Structure 1
């Protein structure tokens, strides 16, 4: 099995940068006891240990609704034509914005379900270092191809089952500044397509992330919750104290047995991890999606254009 420390020895990381070090060099003008005006005219607080953002940019991120309409073709799609092989590729621009809030430049980000590398691409865009694990070699190869095509720094990737995190990070200790990940949404992708969406795609069969039986995207709801908890609990061991774990989740359609609000069940399940505290969420509304007449003309079935960005902090 590949060990992270072996790969780290061959990796040239982005250097760490804290805006407070630049204050000491005189490039910031003092405004008040804790506030300084930067070269860009923005106001910075020297008590900010989380990121390098000004007060204005910090405030803007606190909006609980994230609305995007990123292009899926051309240069600004960041290789979407390749990354779309994955059922749910995340926009590198969105991941960059999240990473910039929860880390300083040169910080380390970990994604235990990296897929085609939205987190890793986002990290490279803002000069952070990242490690990604995925059970699919195919997805990691796509990430590398996109990274090369865009001329971005290739981050550390490992083809492995996320359940083996302790073996990969053996003797590492609390190393990461952020865990940012987009796990499978239970077995949503493994379910057969129905209705107009199936007709449009010309198929009604499922489109799972992988066909690997170890993939937690191929197991039932309750088993999925416990498997995700097990993986996150292992990952958090390598997260620094008072740092954050951010998880993308999409709900399933309700059925006669359960409400299937996956985000709520995940919050409840992960809150059982003693060191984690749920801090809230953002809702991502992706406008670059199409409406489908689910349920028409018989019943209401929602088009879920939003995803939950769940935010936890490691307290101890």
Structure 2
């Protein structure tokens, strides 16, 4: 068996137009033709529950000075195992710290991730190199705008698109730590702006309306890359802005539906086990649920072609 491969491409590497990345996308397992994954019936039944919990491991990144918005490897691993076979192709349009690529490497899936920031592509690469796995899959980190992904990959090759995108302008403001307890409110994150960048292409500097418009444009170009009935999962929370609830999950559902995706499932990520030292706020006059304790996993697919089953 060959060692799993990881590679890096920069936006200056002439990977445009006809210079498509050569990525394998056919399943390498022996599962039956109509199976959408390699799960056993018992594993399938567990996945049917609509509320999921995940746990961090030692390889996970939790330091927000390294990346302000991370998630445990176990999250994309579960989604990858649910919606793909070994050997198939996964795309992460906003790869960030590279967690999706690590999960793909763990599960012997091919994967390509994209990010505007070179430092996050480097971070993804360093994490992939730490995995001493031997398999035939390949994971690639690409420094480029998600709007250009269509130039890198062939149509109908991806079985899954998974990402946790920038959350509009949620991080583009001073952090107040209102959900923190006691002295934790004045920790090193207090009044810090954790937004990734001020790059004009970055979705993290946009208000909700423009954010939804840009998400629609990006995902419109991603849809042809998915196989028919291939899944697309978006991890997103809602947020509060000037005492108003901003329903990002509804904006994303509307945006993706408008460009041809079909919503199949909404799963709740129960984050209570990974949230520490929660404080009280709003009491006694303004009840607000603790937004950090849950997020949405929005599961779409590319509808099957007319006449197919």
Per the normalisation by structure 1, the TM-score is 0.80
**In the aligned structure 1, how far is the partner of 2:43 from the partner of 2:124?**
29
Higher helix share: 1
| Structure 1 range deviating more: 138-147 or 218-227 | 138-147
Q: Offset at 1:222?
A: 0.4
Distance 1:82 1:138, change over 3 A: farther
Structure ID, larger Rg: 1
Query: Partner of 1:16 in structure 2?
Result: 27
Distance 1:119 1:235, change over 3 A: same
1:112-191 aligned at under 5 Å gives the runs 112-152=93-133, 155-169=139-153, 172-191=154-173
Deviations 1:272-293 (A, max 9, x none): 113x110011111121112133
Is residue 208 of structure 1 aligned with residue 220 of structure 2? no
What SS is found at the alignment partner of 1:265? Answer: helix
What SS is found at the alignment partner of 1:180? Answer: strand
| Residues matched between the structures, number | 280
Contact 2:60/2:73, CA 8 A, preserved across alignment:
no
Query: Partner of 1:88 in structure 2?
Result: 69
Q: Offset at 1:94?
A: 1.7
Distance 1:222 1:122, change over 3 A: same
Q: Offset at 1:140?
A: 1.2
Query: Partner of 2:265 in structure 1?
Result: 280
Contact 2:55/2:74, CA 8 A, preserved across alignment:
no
**In the aligned structure 2, how far is the partner of 1:306 from the partner of 1:163?**
29
Deviations 1:206-243 (A, max 9, x none): 11022222100111110000001111111111111111
Query: Partner of 1:294 in structure 2?
Result: 281
**In the aligned structure 2, how far is the partner of 1:95 from the partner of 1:195?**
27
Q: Which structure 1 segments of 5+ residues have no match? A: 21-45, 71-75
What SS is found at the alignment partner of 1:204? Answer: coil
Contact 2:21/2:152, CA 8 A, preserved across alignment:
no
Query: Partner of 1:99 in structure 2?
Result: 80
What SS is found at the alignment partner of 2:267? Answer: strand
**In the aligned structure 1, how far is the partner of 2:203 from the partner of 2:29?**
38
1:199-238 aligned at under 5 Å gives the runs 199-238=186-225
Query: Partner of 1:313 in structure 2?
Result: 301
Distance 1:79 1:154, change over 3 A: farther
Deviations 1:176-202 (A, max 9, x none): 111011101111111221145551225
What SS is found at the alignment partner of 2:87? Answer: coil
Query: Partner of 1:59 in structure 2?
Result: 45
Distance 1:202 1:114, change over 3 A: closer
Per the normalisation by structure 2, the TM-score is 0.82
**In the aligned structure 2, how far is the partner of 1:194 from the partner of 1:302?**
17
Query: Partner of 2:15 in structure 1?
Result: 3
